[in-house]
């Protein structure tokens, strides 16, 4: 389904007409406001970890547009007859701790009594209108860089099956609570042409959005993809989410993989990420500088995974 047509003032720089991460409204020649919201049900059992993951995931959309968050509002839905106040408080504290790390307050919010827990944030940020980075600005010949390893959905599936190791859980928590704040620094580089964060549609789905926005094709080298080691082991053993199958059904006709590619490779490129990494399209001569900025922020985890090329908006995984 699509959003119904509505008022589109000239200062609404990014709205519902593209599949971007946040709305952006220009205040003046040097300032624009970015606004986004995201929330979901628990993907882990620990309440504080759930709050941290949900908050990190929500703020990612501001960073993906090149913005800097300035405050957040909490979205809280809890079954008050089932969850003790202490547990709810730990969820909220988890989210607040991430906001403190981002240097912003939780300035308010809204709560309701619901059947199962939901938590997330409205994220509000600021960005120079000239530095807004959408998912439609990629150019032919651009290098594609992924800032975090894939495999969060696979680890989540392993957790539900009770086969995820403590080390695997630690990796899952590490990456889902790593803020994508390097996005604001990347937006200052003229050669960074497009950005988005990889979330529920998986790498292939979000890259296809980038292709459609730019009217270009993309090619990815499968062996260049960064992957969490335990996720790679699990997916090879057939562990994956149902969302991966639904993702492929939604957009698989636009993805070309090698004829001998095993099923687990398809599961990996469609694996839904919670609080996933930034997917960056930049001038190839800028790739090393982009990698260095990411490394300074979160370690040596980013990889050049492919490039944009002329053609219909399809993805080739070689």
Rounded to whole angstroms, how far apart are CA atoms 157 and 168? 12
Comparing C-alpha atoms, which of 51, 52, 96 is closest to residue 73? Answer: 96
> What global pTM score does this model have?
0.94
pLDDT of residue 21: 78
pLDDT of residue 59: 97
Comparing C-alpha atoms, which of 198, 192, 203, 166 is closest to residue 180? Answer: 198
pLDDT of residue 5: 63
HEC profile for 199-225?
Answer: CCCHHHHHHHHHHHHHCCEEEECHHHC
Q: Where are the beta strands (DSSP E) in the chain?
A: 12-14, 23-26, 32-40, 68-78, 106-113, 118-127, 143-146, 192-197, 217-220, 255-257, 278-282, 303-309, 315-317
68-78 and 118-127 as β-strands: parallel, antiparallel, unpaired?
antiparallel
Radius of gyration of the chain (CA): 19
| Dihedral sign for Cα atoms in the order 186, 191, 193, 197 | negative
Rounded to whole angstroms, how far apart are CA atoms 202 and 163? 22
Rounded to whole angstroms, how far apart are CA atoms 139 and 108? 40
Q: Consecutive 10-residue runs of the chain (318 residues): their mean pLDDT?
A: 70 85 93 96 95 97 96 97 95 98 97 96 97 94 98 97 97 97 96 96 97 97 98 98 96 94 97 97 98 95 97 97
217-220 and 315-317 as β-strands: parallel, antiparallel, unpaired?
parallel
Render pLDDT for 260-291 as a digit per residue (tens, 0 to 9): 899 999 999 999 999 999 999 999 999 999 99
23-26 and 12-14 as β-strands: parallel, antiparallel, unpaired?
antiparallel
Q: Are 277 and 190 in contact (CB under 8 A)?
A: no
Domains of the chain: 12-130 (3.30.1330.10), 133-317 (3.90.650.10)
- Residue 82 DSSP label: T
Neighbours of 223 (CB within 10 A): 7
Render pLDDT for 58-109 as a digit per residue (tens, 0 to 9): 999 999 999 999 999 999 999 999 999 999 999 999 999 999 999 999 999 9
Q: Which two tokens stand for residue 64?
A: 């993906």
Rounded to whole angstroms, how far apart are CA atoms 183 and 180? 6
Comparing C-alpha atoms, which of 126, 148, 113, 5 is closest to residue 66? Answer: 126
């Amino acid at each position: 389904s699509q959003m119904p047509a509505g008022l589109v003032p000239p200062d609404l720089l990014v709205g519902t007409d593209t599949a971007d991460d946040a709305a952006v409204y220009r205040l003046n020649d040097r300032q624009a406001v970015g606004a986004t919201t995201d929330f979901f049900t628990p993907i882990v059992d620990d309440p504080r970890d759930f709050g941290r993951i949900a908050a990190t995931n929500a703020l990612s959309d501001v960073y993906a547009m090149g913005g800097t968050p300035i405050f957040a509002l909490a979205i809280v839905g809890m079954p008050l007859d089932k969850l003790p106040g202490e547990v709810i408080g730990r969820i909220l504290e988890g989210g607040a701790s991430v906001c403190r790390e981002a240097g912003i307050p939780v300035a308010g919010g809204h709560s309701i009594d619901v059947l199962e827990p939901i938590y997330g944030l409205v994220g509000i940020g600021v960005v120079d209108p000239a530095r807004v980075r959408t998912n439609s600005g990629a150019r032919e010949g651009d290098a594609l860089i992924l800032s975090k390893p894939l495999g969060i959905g696979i680890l989540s599936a392993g957790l539900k099956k009770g086969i995820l190791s403590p080390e695997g859980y630690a990796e899952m928590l590490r990456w889902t609570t790593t803020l994508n704040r390097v996005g604001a620094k990347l937006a200052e580089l003229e050669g960074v042409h497009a950005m988005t964060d990889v979330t529920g549609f998986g790498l292939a789905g979000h890259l296809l959005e980038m292709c459609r926005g730019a009217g270009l094709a993309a090619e990815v080298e499968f062996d260049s993809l960064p992957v969490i080691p335990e996720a790679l082991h699990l997916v090879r053993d057939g562990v994956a989410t149902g969302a991966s199958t639904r993702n492929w059904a939604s957009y698989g006709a636009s993805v070309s993989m090698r004829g001998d590619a095993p099923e687990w490779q398809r599961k990996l490129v469609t694996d839904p990420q919670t609080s996933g990494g930034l997917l960056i399209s930049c001038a190839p001569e800028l790739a090393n500088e982009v990698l260095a900025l990411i490394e300074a922020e979160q370690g040596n985890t980013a990889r050049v995974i492919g490039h944009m090329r002329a053609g219909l908006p399809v993805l080739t995984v070689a």
